[in-house]
Structure 1
Amino acid sequence: MSNLSLAEAVKLKSVLAKRIHELEEEMDRVAFVEVEKGSKVPKQVRSLSKVEVEIDEIRKDFRLLDKLMYRANFENVVNFNGEELVIVEAIELATQLRAKARKFKEFGAAAKEEHQFGYGEGLPLIKRAMFDPEEYRVKAVELERQANRLSNAINTKNYSIFLEFDSEKYF
């Protein structure tokens, strides 16, 4: 059995998911035919049962690949900011860093003070930021940098981990 890097496995999983979707569509196409009453049913290139067999084989490979990937993501670590994180945790941390950076960017783009146009008594209203927008802009840049650094570490690690999976029929 050939080996496949974890990085290639991520791509292959996407390929398999797409292939499963295509086969489901093919099942819909070959499951029914429209013919005039009394006419002969046209010969199909592939039968529904052949498509079923192929989709079942791919789904089995998908499950195996998924299991191998989960195991690798749990058993292997990356170093980030002096801390060892299992890959699954590192992936989640990178996602959280990006979410935090996105929110901080919003605060960084805010005005320190804005005049609000209200209704009613005609008193001028001012919306005042209770923080320094520039400080949050700088924090957002740093968080994005950290998320990118962590993603690069994960990606590098993914190329060094090999899974026992026969990908020859797909690549």
Structure 2
Amino acid sequence: MYLADAIKLKSLLHKQIDKLLEEVERVAFIELEKDEPLPTIQSRSLEDIEVELESIRRDMRRLDRLVYEANLKTVIETHDGPLPLVEAIEFAIQLRAQARMYQELSERPKREFQYGFGEGTAVIKHALYDPELYRLKAIDVEKRANRISNAINAANYRTEIDFDPSRYM
């Protein structure tokens, strides 16, 4: 299966585990009036659900390990040199944060009057940088992050891991 599909499958398995835990609550308890006999028919037993939960959790652990291994072994080329996927993912996150910071700096005025300081003294806050330069830097850094994200996505669709998803997909 492709790494991209494995990431989607992990999300699906988390949802299945949540549903099974809700089912545990439904089948583990019953409310009856005093002296009312226990019903004998239940759709599934608590033990049945526990077995299914353990199986999914085991598959989830194996899938996690395979995804982590693939994220370490798979390398993409970036403007900054080759990076394993795990590092490229973090780098893209960092670049997006940097682009947001640059964008925020670019939106600040070059000069800003400050009010409420002292008695009748005008205070002007001066930017010690060129906001337009930071607007351009934000665009450049966002483009770098997008290129890395595109390379990550492409790698996710060409990297295969040894996991049979037929039980779930």
Same fold per superposition (TM over 0.5) = yes
Quick one: distance in 2 between partners of 1:108 and 1:155?
30
**CA drift at 1:131:** 1.1
TM-superposition CA deviations, 1:77-125 (whole Å, max 9, x none): 0000161111111111011101111111111111111111114412111
Q: Is the aligned partner of 1:9 residue 2:6? A: yes
The aligned runs of 1:37-48 (5 Å cut-off) are 37-42=34-39, 43-48=41-46
Quick one: distance in 2 between partners of 1:18 and 1:127?
51
Identify if the C-alpha distance between structure 1 residues 82 and 36 changes in structure 2 by more than 3 Å, giving closer, same or farther. same
What is the identity, as a one-letter code, of the residue corresponding to 1:155?
N
TM-superposition CA deviations, 1:116-171 (whole Å, max 9, x none): 11144121111211111111111111111111110110110111111110101111
TM-superposition CA deviations, 1:33-53 (whole Å, max 9, x none): 111011122332122111111
Aligned to 1:36: 33
Quick one: distance in 2 between partners of 1:82 and 1:127?
36
Aligned to 1:108: 106
Aligned to 2:93: 95
Aligned to 2:138: 140
Quick one: distance in 2 between partners of 1:44 and 1:99?
52
Superposition CA RMSD, Å: 1.2
Quick one: distance in 1 between partners of 2:133 and 2:100?
14
Residue aligned with 2:161, SS: strand
Q: Is the aligned partner of 1:162 residue 2:126? A: no
Quick one: distance in 1 between partners of 2:109 and 2:53?
55
Q: Which runs of 5+ in 1 are unaligned?
A: none
- Which of 22, 35, 39 is matched with 1:25 structurally? 22
Quick one: distance in 2 between partners of 1:64 and 1:130?
53
Runs of at least 4 residues of structure 1 off by over 4 A? none
Q: Is the aligned partner of 1:149 residue 2:147? A: yes
Q: Is the aligned partner of 1:121 residue 2:105? A: no
User: Identity of aligned pairs, percent?
Assistant: 50
Residue aligned with 1:164, SS: coil
The aligned runs of 1:40-79 (5 Å cut-off) are 40-42=37-39, 43-79=41-77
Quick one: distance in 2 between partners of 1:82 and 1:145?
13
**CA drift at 1:20:** 1.1
Quick one: distance in 1 between partners of 2:133 and 2:27?
60
Quick one: distance in 2 between partners of 1:29 and 1:131?
62
Q: Which runs of 5+ in 2 are unaligned?
A: none
* TM-score of the pair, normalised by structure 2: 0.94
Quick one: distance in 2 between partners of 1:154 and 1:83?
14
